[in-house]
Amino acid sequence: PQTIYRKDYTAPSYLVDTVELGFDLDPARTVVANRMTVRRNPASAQREIELYGEDIELVALRLNGRTLGEGDYVVEGNLLRIPNAPEEATLEIETICVPESNTTLSGLYTSNGSFYTQCEAEGFRRITYFPDRPDVMARFTVMLRADKDKYPVLLSNGNLIEEGDLDGGRHYALWEDPFKKPSYLFALVAARLVCQEENFELADGRTALLQVWVEEGNLDKTDYAMQSLKHSIRWDEERWNLELDLDRFMIVAVGDFNMGAMENKGLNIFNTKFVLANPRVATDVDFQGIEAVVGHEYFHNWTGNRVTCRDWFQLSLKEGLTVFRDQEFSADMIGTNTGRAVTRIDQVRTLRQAQFPEDAGPMAHPVRPDSFVEINNFYTVTVYEKGAEVVRMYQTLLGRDGFRKGMDLYFQRHDEQAVTCDDFRLAMADANGRDLTQFERWYSQAGTPVVQAETRWDEQAQTYTLRLIQSCPPTPGQAEKLPFHIPIAVGLLGQDGRDLPLTVDGKDHGTTAVLELTESDQTFVFTGVTEQPTPSILRDFSAPVILKHGYSDAELVHLFSHDSDPVNRWEAGQRLAMSRLLKLTGQVASAGNVVDRLDLDDTFIDAMRKILVDDTLDPSFREQALLLPTESMIADQLDVVDPLAIHLARQFVRADIGARLRTELLAQYDANQTPGEYSPDAESIGKRALKNLALAYLNAAPDDASLALAQQQFDGATNMTDRVAALSALVHARAPAAADALQRFYDEFQGEALVVDKWFAMQAAAPTTDVNSVRELMTHKAFTLRNPNRARSLVSTFCAGNAVGFHAPDGSGYGFWAEQVIALDALNPQVASRLARAMDRWRRYTPDLQAHMKRALQQVAGQAKLSNDVREVVGKALA
């Protein structure tokens, strides 16, 4: 496969002004007529028209009315070139595609018999020949024709111009999008659907029609998506002065979808997972996910659609920024300080769980990658979540007002343009009169920076010196790194736990100073420090770095009890837990993976107890503070990973907490019930989370009483959050009643696809589940590899979320992985390629496991027929 480089970017040879598409929709043979007006791009030296097409049959090609024959154009792979083209031309192209056999779910495909599209990144070329690149923006008019009975609803981008009946039981709809857009934002839906709709008043007094389209039978699950959409529209108006620019905004839910959702102009298409919810079938996390994703896609209308990316290397321009926006939206929707902090803690957990490992593995890439083989492989936690951290750092450095000025300038300069990450950075710099040249390294250098902090209090001089040393490990293709521009938010706690006033270089910084670390070794001096403080460094996780500091347990306990910054307060608890987990993992491993004579100190248990029972703290915060680092976070700290040792050590800690804090956990279990009608508000979610964590800890060392409690909660649950928590407690405790509960759960919810996914996922993740049980589950009548949600719920959950089962010493988990990657690749390369990444960090495991993993990787890499997607991932893993 061919590698594409960012440095090779050239402007498009031809621009497209208008596109008229005509679709005669038929699952077995859809005819697409494309008429577009093109003109030579003055910015390009190229004289050929370049069109991309993939998996489509070219029926006719006309240029200014003349049919082009063999000698008039050249087709090489996916590229069709028309040499010697005139300055301006009308191109007419007729192609045929077969939606019903399109299992890739990219381009035009069918799901449950209806038509849907997914064009980002390069799916439009699977529909028609087109300069399918984001810097070609055109105005689209779309005519849809289909059987009226089977596909009563015909949707596309923009405004509905006309609809009516045709002969032979068919009908049509004509749509026009008033904004020019890149082809990746094109969408159509032709389906049997119903909708919840509402007229919504916008800030400027206009009214927009909002619709949420779902399959019949799901209308009782659209309220939350609709509410989230309205909140998103309001929030964008209020926080950024950005308005909905269309008269109509539609969300469509589809059961077969590769990712979460897609921001097609005016016609967002969503995975059902991020639309459908009611208390009976959806958990608190599902509700939160819906709010975040509905917000995310809506916010793309400005950050992504009105201002789009020049090329796919700039993906984080829209994704990092839009994730940042949806994060801020979710935080503002909660509104309280602790609520905000808890969302921030969640973000930090995601980074540590997924992004730091990516940044340290074979697929490590900068936020703005320099090269790729398959762009779909680069919709990553680095581009998205680290990208959002980079955007957040602007706000930390420039302040909220300064950041807003930068955003305003960005839209002023670039509305309806396709631009780069540098353009965004320059808007931030220019709007604030700041030099952000060095900040560019956050875009160009991969790897997680390490910041080492050394401190010294000088009693005589009453100064406190903070020395910060930064470094960044090598990543593929980047051996040496230059220093980053890192905002480090710092507070100092006095012995009474309160923040000390901060003065640096004679300047008053309140109680949190944002220091700007720009050199590899830099020292900051706080003056007027009258007592030995405890440093709270990297408050609010002010930069995506690994902070190293030789904290003593006493200092950590002090921070865990008092830090006014909730994120660092939580962080102190994580550090206390991590040091224990690492030590215990070592002990378990050297005992040959036997849990014997392990011990957890009182300091740790007491610190946990204190937070658990502190009713002045929000339950949501207490839940986060009591959650242990995950197995993968522990693995990330180790040079040699023995997954079973990690699991056993962590289970020991969970059980010990469960046993030694039994009384307190039971009390919190009772105190945090949420009787009455279910509501997904932050306070109730926090209570349920703490209550269900208590239940989980109690059942980590199960006795009859705790098992009975889980059983009772399962039987009496009135919402999915409590039901799943109870079922999972039973399953993880290996309760005798677990099998029966699982069966009852399935029987009750077998008609709800998203709940069946949970049912598979819960079993896939259970440490009692091995390869054989997964294979057994794959024979269940409800299982299919063809539906991405279902495949992920069982196969990906097992491979990426069940370390014990997956890393079985005999390598059977890896053999299974290879088989499934190969099977999935034949159907859906994007889903296969995600699964392939479960092996990313294979070189970190014990030698025996490594050998098995390598063999499995080689088995996949050795396949003659493999998608570019999977080939790139396994190739980089083995490189």
User: Footprint of Zn ion on residues 321-380 (CB under 5 A)?
Assistant: 322
Name 641's bridge partners: 845
- The DSSP secondary-structure symbol of 335 reads -
Stretch (H or E) spanning 697:
helix 682-698
What is the rounded CA–CA span in Å between residue 117 and residue 106? Answer: 7
Q: What are phi and psi of 738, to 5 degrees?
A: -65, -45
What is the rounded CA–CA span in Å between residue 397 and residue 400? Answer: 9
Question: Segment contacting Zn ion (CB under 5 A): 316-324, 407-415, 433-441, 718-726?
Answer: 316-324
Which positions are catalytic?
A: 297
Q: Which is nearer to Zn ion, 418 or 724 (CB)?
A: 418
Which listed option, Zn ion, ligand B3K, none, makes contact with residue 259 (CB within 5 to 8 Å by class)?
ligand B3K
Residue number, nearest CB to ligand B3K: 120
CB 305 within 8 A of CB 186: no
Query: Which of 307, 360, 254 has its CA nearest to residue 134?
Result: 307
Looking only at Cα atoms, what is the longest distance across the chain? 94
- The DSSP secondary-structure symbol of 100 reads G
Residue 323 Cβ vs Zn ion, minimum distance, rounded to whole Å = 7
Non-local CB neighbours of 642 within 8 Å, separated by 6+ positions: 585, 589, 593, 845, 846
Q: What are phi and psi of 638, to 5 degrees?
A: -110, 145
- Site of tokens 């060095």: 438
What is the rounded CA–CA span in Å between residue 767 and residue 523? Answer: 47
- The DSSP secondary-structure symbol of 447 reads S
- Give me the count of residues in the chain: 879
Number of residues that bind Zn ion (CB under 5 A): 2
Q: Which is nearer to ligand B3K, 356 or 384 (CB)?
A: 384
- The DSSP secondary-structure symbol of 301 reads T
CB 316 within 8 A of CB 383: yes
Residue 263 Cβ vs ligand B3K, minimum distance, rounded to whole Å = 5
Which spans of this chain sit near ligand B3K (rule: CB under 6 A)?
A: 120-121, 259, 261-263, 296-297, 300, 319, 376, 379, 830
Which listed option, ligand B3K, Zn ion, none, makes contact with residue 316 (CB within 5 to 8 Å by class)?
none
Which listed option, Zn ion, ligand B3K, none, makes contact with residue 212 (CB within 5 to 8 Å by class)?
none
What is the rounded CA–CA span in Å between residue 620 and residue 419? Answer: 40
Q: Which is nearer to ligand B3K, 326 or 770 (CB)?
A: 326
- The DSSP secondary-structure symbol of 647 reads H
Q: Which is nearer to ligand B3K, 375 or 547 (CB)?
A: 375
Q: Which is nearer to ligand B3K, 23 or 378 (CB)?
A: 378
CB 537 within 8 A of CB 555: no
Q: Which is nearer to Zn ion, 291 or 722 (CB)?
A: 291
Q: Which is nearer to ligand B3K, 392 or 558 (CB)?
A: 392
Full 3-state SS string of 140-201: EEEEEEEECCCCCEEEECCEEEEEEECHHHEEEEEEECCCCEEHHHCCEEEECCEEEEEEEE
Which listed option, Zn ion, ligand B3K, none, makes contact with residue 92 (CB within 5 to 8 Å by class)?
none
Which listed option, Zn ion, ligand B3K, none, makes contact with residue 379 (CB within 5 to 8 Å by class)?
ligand B3K
Q: Which is nearer to ligand B3K, 50 or 374 (CB)?
A: 374
Q: What are phi and psi of 372, to 5 degrees?
A: -155, 160
What is the rounded CA–CA span in Å between residue 622 and residue 667? Answer: 14
Q: Which is nearer to Zn ion, 132 or 263 (CB)?
A: 263
Residue 13 Cβ vs ligand B3K, minimum distance, rounded to whole Å = 25
437-469: string of b/e by CB count within 10 Å (b at 16+)?
Answer: eebbbbbbbbbbbebebebebeeeeeebebebb
Phi-psi label, residue 592: left if phi above 0, alpha if psi -120 to 50, beta otherwise = left
CB 687 within 8 A of CB 623: no
Question: Segment contacting Zn ion (CB under 5 A): 128-136, 319-327, 530-538, 630-638?
Answer: 319-327
Residue 303 Cβ vs Zn ion, minimum distance, rounded to whole Å = 9
556: tokens are 């950590």
Residue 870 Cβ vs ligand B3K, minimum distance, rounded to whole Å = 14
Q: Which is nearer to Zn ion, 322 or 475 (CB)?
A: 322
CB 689 within 8 A of CB 674: no
Residue 319 Cβ vs Zn ion, minimum distance, rounded to whole Å = 5
Residue 275 Cβ vs Zn ion, minimum distance, rounded to whole Å = 16
Collapsing DSSP to helix, strand or coil, 138 comes out as: strand
Collapsing DSSP to helix, strand or coil, 424 comes out as: helix
Residue 113 Cβ vs Zn ion, minimum distance, rounded to whole Å = 28
Collapsing DSSP to helix, strand or coil, 733 comes out as: coil
Residue 283 Cβ vs Zn ion, minimum distance, rounded to whole Å = 23
Residue type, 867: S
What is the rounded CA–CA span in Å between residue 36 and residue 387? Answer: 35
Rg over CA atoms, the chain? 28
Residue 289 Cβ vs Zn ion, minimum distance, rounded to whole Å = 14
Residue 240 Cβ vs ligand B3K, minimum distance, rounded to whole Å = 18
Phi-psi label, residue 207: left if phi above 0, alpha if psi -120 to 50, beta otherwise = beta
Q: Which is nearer to ligand B3K, 769 or 830 (CB)?
A: 830
Q: List contacts with Zn ion (CB under 5 A).
A: 319, 322
